[in-house]
Amino acid sequence: MQVVTSNVGDNSMFRKAEKRQAKLRLALCGPSGSGKTYSALLIAQGLAPGGKIALIDTERGSGELYADLTAYDVAPLEPPYTPGRYIEIIKAAESAGYDVLIIDSLSHAWTGDGGVLDMHDKATAASRSGNSFAAWREVTPKHNALVDTIIGVGLHVVVTMRTKTAYDMVDDGKGGKKPIKIGLSPIQRDGMEYEFTTVVDLSVDNHIATATKDRTRLFDGEHFVPTAATGAALRDWLTAGKDPVAESKRTLKALKASATRIASVPELETWWRSHSAEIGLLTPPDRETLTGHCAARKLAILESSAKASAAEASKEPEEAPKRRGNGEDRHAAGIDALKAATL
């Protein structure tokens, strides 16, 4: 079924905004020693109390140092840190039914051995021109695929990202100065933070968290130490609203019933345009199901039309009355009358 794009001014493009349940996309950023992994596990506890937690460990076993904190499973990831290997493990976590996936850390997919920057350098060296810009055209789609997987996977995702480390001098409370480690931008592609529901910066001193981006508005202006209660607050916000999966199933059922009643292909295409807002609310599997249903309906309409045309063409035309030449078609009585007049 080909989806026909509606016109810009078509009201069917719009629908009433509704808050729906969602899965968390949280980024914890900070320099080494800021407590990213520890905080991620505490938040995961609150997000899914009694649920299944998985952790992708790129930090050479450091992800298992907190095994006494809560129950979780680990998937060690060794070099090369290609986007494809991350994608494979993320999809495996979803298939295994985990409630929360911690990616510790996502920075390796950018700067690690086999990561995007490494892939870019190799692609540049392999090209005849040595054009680094052209090499990005080869590498960027692979990184985009990783981002799309993180956004689209059906479980809560908490990622940790290292930050570029710098030092600042602050008062030591004794009239002197002392250096403290501060984090700068995350080690990932520029703008990566826009992909997350909430982005939190962690400091080394006391592991204080500050939200630099927060769609939930739970942490606006707050400076806090992450705990399981942080995850519970996020869970409450995420689960408020309609269940998107249940709503999708109800919408799919209604749309299939409506499409089944359509009797012509132009009407079916118009129907798809006019229901674009509702179709946009379907989960990807349900949207695929509806597309298949409409394609089958279109085929059934075309087959029915072809059969009707063939049946019409096969009908024999009514036989016209046979006419005789040379006056043979005159009524017999007329001929007899003519004979009598000549006698």
Domain end (from 239, 271, 289): 239
User: What contacts 46, CB < 8 A, 6 or more positions away?
Assistant: 227, 228, 229, 230, 231, 232, 233, 234, 235
| Residue 319 within a domain | no
Q: What 3-state DSSP class applies to 343?
A: coil
Spans of the chain, pLDDT less than 50: 1-9, 331-332, 334-335, 337-343
| Residue 280 within a domain | yes
> Do residue 207 and residue 306 come from a single domain?
no
> Do residue 30 and residue 109 come from a single domain?
yes
Domain CATH number, residue 38: 3.40.50
User: What contacts 108, CB < 8 A, 6 or more positions away?
Assistant: 58, 77, 81, 115
> Do residue 235 and residue 247 come from a single domain?
no
> According to the model, what pLDDT value does residue 79 have?
96
Q: Reply yes or no: is the peptide bond before residue 266 cis, omega within 30 of 0.
A: no
| Residue 211 within a domain | yes
> According to the model, what pLDDT value does residue 10 have?
52
| Main-chain dihedrals φ then ψ at residue 174, nearest 5 degrees | -125, 20
Domain end (from 219, 239, 259): 239
Q: What confidence tens digit (pLDDT) does each residue in 222-235 have?
A: 999 999 999 999 99
Please state the three-class secondary structure of 275-298 as a single string. CHHHHHCCCHHHHHHHHHHHHHHH
Domain end (from 186, 218, 239): 239
Distance CA 79, CA 108 (A): 9
> According to the model, what pLDDT value does residue 15 have?
76
> Do residue 28 and residue 68 come from a single domain?
yes
Residue among 107, 125, 118 nearest 80 (CA): 118
| Residue 46 within a domain | yes
| Residue 114 within a domain | yes
Q: pTM for the whole thing?
A: 0.70
Question: What is the distance of C-alpha 191 from the center of its chain?
Answer: 19
Q: What domain range includes position 185?
A: 20-239
Structural domains of the chain, count: 2
> Do residue 175 and residue 253 come from a single domain?
no
Residue among 70, 109, 117, 71 nearest 90 (CA): 109
| Residue 324 within a domain | no
